[in-house]
Amino acid sequence: MSAVDHPEGPVDFGGLDFDQLWKGREKTTAVERGIVVESIAGRDARRVLEVGPGGGRIASVLLAAGREYVGVDVTLPFLVRLRARWGGAGMWLAADLARLPLESGTFSGAVLIRVYNFLTEPAESLRELFRVLAPGGWLLISYFSERTVATAWDDLRRRISSPERSETKPTVSPAYRPGLPSRARFRASIEAAGFLWEREYSVGLEDFRPFRGMPAKMFVSLGRTFGPTGVLPHHFVVLRKPGATPVELPPIDQIVVCPDCRFPLTGLGMRTDSNVRCSGCGRQLTVVDGVPDLRPPDPAGGQHRKEPIRVRAP
Average pLDDT, rounded, for the chain: 82
| pLDDT bucket at 22, cuts 50 / 70 / 90 | confident
What angle, 0 to 180 degrees and rounded to 10, lies between the N-to-C axes of helices 183-193 and 122-132? 40
How far apart CA 233 and CA 150 sit, in angstroms, is 6
Q: Which of 100-109, 218-227, 289-298 has the highest mean pLDDT?
A: 100-109
How far apart CA 132 and CA 45 sit, in angstroms, is 14
Q: Is the pLDDT of residue 223 over 80?
A: yes
Do the beta carbons of residue 75 and residue 14 sit within 8 Å?
Answer: yes
Closest residue by Cα to residue 226 from 256, 199, 196, 201: 201
**pTM of the shown model:** 0.84
Q: Is the pLDDT of residue 78 over 90?
A: yes
The pLDDT score that the predictor gives to residue 161 is 57
Q: Give the pLDDT mean for 197-214.
A: 89
The pLDDT score that the predictor gives to residue 309 is 36
Domains along the chain with CATH numbers: 13-145+180-293 (3.40.50.150), 146-176 (no CATH)
The pLDDT score that the predictor gives to residue 14 is 67
The pLDDT score that the predictor gives to residue 253 is 94
